[in-house]
């Protein structure tokens, strides 16, 4: 209530990127003190074995995670984890530091509960992120890497491998992002003939530098044709990949409540939030039918409550992520989604989320 009726109106009076910096900075400041962070974590989680999930060789305290894009530079993952997230994905991180695209580059579509962003992987680079990733942390952290804008497509593999080398020791799981619409040529790497050598090279780099198995996943776009989704799924299985994250933002602008002329004036970028829900679920279902439970599927896109999150579990996901809905609903959202997920599971006769995951896909 405090966030919705007091803090959110104040933040929404500011440009979105400024509001994000202020809100994230305040969260990091107040939860920088270990006793306070521990107290908030205890209140947010209220540890419940019925929410715990075994996936990617890890034990997740909750299946609800924060998607990449919020904590781009690995500055606040433990603070975010304390608010109720079962895991936090940092990044997207690139091999080279880069400022991203010109501002303004982040826009709210309040009528649609959506965002448009063309951030362009703004981050301080892999070396700086590695220095911030503490292996003694309380939060499960995934590391999402992308291509540096200054690196030509033909040198993309070497660029990803550099990031993997620098970050391998610090990640609980690793994500190759080839699906953002805001880096020129990046989505070309989703074609299997380019994706296969890239994933093989990153896998080799992780194995060489982590001294343990680091789960490797790939994040795909909702705008892929169904045949390409099938091809990526088959490739993931054949390579022994640990999982797929579906989906990133979309370049489509279908069926929005925001007036067309307003949307067009905002320009290019990836659309996230509630409008992405149908396609994200459709892609997940296709992946689930293709790979079953042989690899881990993480669903993201348009998830705003625990009932939709449980729907993703039934469609094949083992874990879910939110981003845009967190901007709209605030820090109480992850715990709320977890409670509602469990409620939805019990209404269908399951005693836990893990039991629902073990059931046949519907």
Active site residues: 180
b/e burial code for range 142-165 (CB count within 10 A of at least 16 → b): bbbbbbbbebeeeebbebbbbbbb
Phi, psi of 64 (to 5 degrees): -100, 115
Q: Are 292 and 361 in contact (CB under 8 A)?
A: yes
d(CA 200, CA 206): 10
C-beta neighbour count of 348 within 10 angstroms:
12
∠ Cα 324 70 86 (to 5°) = 85
b/e burial code for range 105-114 (CB count within 10 A of at least 16 → b): bbbbbeebbb
- β-pair type (53-55, 58-60): antiparallel
* C-alpha distances out from residue 327 to 183, 260, 336, 353, Å: 23, 23, 14, 25
CA 298 to chain centre: 8
- Per DSSP, the three-state class of 120 is coil
The structure tokens listed for 330 are: 């605030």
User: Positive or negative CA dihedral for 232, 234, 237, 240?
Assistant: negative
d(CA 88, CA 273): 18
The structure tokens listed for 14 are: 């500011």
Give the strand order in the sheet containing 106-109: 106-109, 114-117, 270-273
């Amino acid at each position: 209530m405090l966030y919705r009726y007091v803090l959110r109106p104040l933040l929404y009076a500011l440009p979105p990127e400024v509001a994000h910096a202020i809100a994230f900075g305040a969260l990091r400041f107040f939860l920088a003190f270990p006793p306070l962070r521990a107290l908030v974590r205890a209140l947010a989680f209220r540890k419940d074995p019925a929410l715990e999930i075994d996936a990617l060789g890890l034990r997740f305290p909750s299946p609800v995670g924060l998607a990449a894009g919020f904590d781009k530079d690995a500055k606040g993952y433990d603070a975010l984890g304390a608010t109720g997230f079962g895991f936090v994905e940092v990044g997207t991180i690139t091999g080279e530091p880069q400022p991203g695209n010109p501002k303004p580059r982040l826009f709210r579509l309040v009528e649609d509960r959506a965002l448009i962003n063309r951030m362009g992987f703004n981050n301080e680079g892999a070396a700086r992120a590695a220095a911030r990733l503490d292996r003694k942390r309380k939060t499960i952290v995934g590391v999402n890497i992308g291509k540096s804008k200054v690196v030509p497509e033909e040198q993309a593999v070497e660029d990803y491998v550099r990031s993997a080398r620098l970050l391998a020791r610090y990640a609980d799981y690793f994500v190759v992002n080839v699906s953002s619409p805001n880096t020129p040529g990046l989505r070309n790497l989703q074609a299997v003939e380019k994706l296969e050598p890239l994933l093989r090279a990153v896998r080799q780099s992780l194995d060489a530098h982590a001294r343990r198995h680091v789960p490797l996943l790939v994040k795909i776009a909702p705008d892929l044709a169904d045949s390409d989704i099938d091809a990526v799924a088959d490739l993931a299985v054949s390579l022994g990949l640990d999982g797929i994250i579906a989906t990133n933002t979309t370049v489509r602008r279908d069926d929005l409540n925001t007036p067309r002329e307003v949307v067009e004036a905002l320009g290019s970028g990836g659309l996230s939030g509630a409008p992405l829900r149908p396609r994200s679920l459709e892609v997940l279902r296709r992946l689930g039918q293709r790979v079953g439970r042989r690899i881990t599927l993480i669903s993201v896109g348009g998830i705003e409550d625990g009932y939709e999150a449980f729907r993703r579990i039934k469609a094949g996901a083992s874990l879910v992520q939110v981003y845009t809905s967190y901007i709209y609903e605030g820090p109480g959202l992850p715990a709320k989604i977890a409670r509602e997920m469990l409620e939805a599971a019990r209404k269908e006769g399951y005693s836990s989320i893990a039991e629902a995951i073990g059931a046949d896909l519907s």
